[in-house]
Amino acid sequence: DVQLVESGGGSVQAGGSLRLSCAASGRTYSKWCMGWFRQISGKKREGVAGIDRDGATTYYANSVKGRFTISQDNVKNTVYLQMNSLKPEDTSMYYCAATWRLLGVSTWSPEANYDYWGQGTQVTVS
């Protein structure tokens, strides 16, 4: 089966940085599209960033453009989310997700398009 394990969350002051990691195992990692989502309790899960199978194309929510960067290391089977200039409104549980589907600019963000999910890692910005 496919397993996704996030790490790197924590508490940081506004303006600070964190890097989240998502280690993937299972089927052929290089064939997946990956995404990062976040969810505050009681609210809908929001797509934050996505990356296509070969890492050539990335997608971002408007709220994080210019501050967050998604990247992947196919050797380590890991996808990263570098988060800079963090704001209190970035406080949330962050989830990594993967899919076999070929996603694009209009399809990367809906959570229904992803098949596998990690357990999440908490990010708190004060």
Which amino acid, one-letter code, is at 60? Y
- pLDDT, tens digit, 9 for 90 and up, residues 106-117: 999 999 999 999
12-25 b/e (C-beta count within 10 Å ≥ 16 → b): beeeeebebbbbbe
- pLDDT, tens digit, 9 for 90 and up, residues 47-79: 999 999 888 899 999 999 999 999 999 888 899
Distance (Å, whole) CA 9 – CA 31: 26
- pLDDT, tens digit, 9 for 90 and up, residues 28-53: 666 789 999 999 988 999 999 999 98
At 29 the pLDDT is 62
Q: Which of 87, 32, 98 is nearest to 63 (CA)?
A: 87
DSSP-assigned states of every residue in 42-93: TS--EEEEEE-TTSS-EEE-TTTTTTEEEEEETTTTEEEEEE-S--GGG-EE
At 124 the pLDDT is 98
Mean pLDDT value across residues 17-30? 86
